[in-house]
């Protein structure tokens, strides 16, 4: 079988989710770098793969594309140890995945993009305040949950952990202070200890 093609941008946490899962599943894939800071996701060629102009995009068969990182995560993990089979547990995984995209990523990923990817902390100073407020709310909710859970769902490592881990463990690159969240920090270490773990900017 040909390796899967992953349209990706190395610093992206959304891209990293897919890279980490594919690696842990042992599924061969090739990265196609798309530099979002240079408008490469707005080219007609890329838009024909994802009209929403966002990475990651996974080509699962020639000409068959899937976008939205968390949809790709569910697709890849079905039938594996990374997604519970039980209906309610699977729904809880999805609950965290939607939480991540609605209440977490927009507040935690964007400051990191402004500060560490674009290097424009000063320009976005006012907007950062609002983002940090929402981001700390999401982190506080996670901290509370992790006080009584080792992983987010079913007391084991699932795609819920990978999806939340992607931007949480580099939140400091967006100006967040993770030292206020000891349970998150301990969970980050548990995720890093999983077999076949790779780091976010690890060249494959």
Whether 151 and 161 have beta carbons less than 8 Å apart is answered as yes
Nearer to a copy of itself, 74 or 198 (CB): 74
Could you give the C-alpha distances from 123 to 7, 88, 126, 131, in angstroms and in order? 29, 44, 8, 14
- How many Å apart are CA 151 and CA 50, to the nearest integer? 32
Q: Of the ranges 27-35, 86-94, 113-121, 164-172, which one interacts with a copy of itself (CB under 8 A)? A: 86-94
| DSSP-assigned letters across all residues of 117-154 | IS--TTTTHHHHHHHHHHHHHHHHHHHHHHTS-SSSBT
Rule CB under 8 A: choose which of 78, 86, 129, 177 binds a copy of itself: 78
Establish if 70 lies at the interface with a copy of itself (CB under 8 A): yes
Q: Sign of torsion, CA 195 201 203 204?
A: positive
Establish if 91 lies at the interface with a copy of itself (CB under 8 A): yes
- How many Å apart are CA 174 and CA 196, to the nearest integer? 26
Backbone angles phi, psi at 154, to 5 degrees: 65, 20
Residue 120 Cβ vs a copy of itself, minimum distance, rounded to whole Å: 18
Residue 97 Cβ vs a copy of itself, minimum distance, rounded to whole Å: 7
Establish if 38 lies at the interface with a copy of itself (CB under 8 A): no
Residues 40-59 that bind a copy of itself (CB under 8 A): 51-52
The site string for a copy of itself over 163-192 (x = CB under 8 A, - otherwise) reads ------------------------------
Q: Of the ranges 33-41, 60-68, 111-119, 171-179, which one interacts with a copy of itself (CB under 8 A)? A: 60-68
Establish if 145 lies at the interface with a copy of itself (CB under 8 A): yes
- The two beta strands, 29-33 and 4-8, are parallel
- Sites of contact with a copy of itself (CB under 8 A): 51-52, 60, 64, 66-72, 74-75, 78, 87-88, 90-92, 94-95, 97-99, 101-103, 105-106, 141, 144-145
């Amino acid at each position: 079988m040909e390796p899967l093609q992953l349209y990706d941008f190395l610093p992206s946490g959304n891209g990293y989710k897919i890279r980490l899962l594919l690696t842990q599943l042992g599924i061969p894939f090739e990265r196609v770098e798309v530099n979002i800071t240079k408008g490469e996701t707005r080219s007609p060629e890329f838009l024909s793969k994802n009209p929403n102009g966002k990475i990651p995009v996974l080509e699962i068969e020639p000409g068959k594309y899937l976008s939205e990182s968390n949809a790709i995560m569910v697709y890849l993990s079905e039938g594996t140890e990374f997604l519970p089979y039980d209906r309610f547990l699977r729904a809880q995984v999805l609950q965290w995945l939607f939480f991540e995209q609605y209440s977490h990523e927009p507040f935690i990923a964007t400051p990191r993009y402004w500060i560490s990817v674009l290097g424009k902390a000063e320009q976005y100073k006012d907007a950062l305040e609002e983002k940090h407020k929402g981001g700390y709310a999401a982190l506080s909710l996670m901290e509370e949950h992790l006080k009584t859970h080792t992983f987010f769902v079913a007391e084991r490592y699932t795609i819920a952990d990978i999806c939340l881990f992607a931007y949480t463990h580099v939140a400091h690159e967006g100006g967040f202070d993770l030292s206020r969240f000891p349970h998150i920090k301990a969970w980050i270490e548990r995720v890093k200890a999983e077999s076949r773990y790779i780091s976010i900017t690890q060249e494959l």
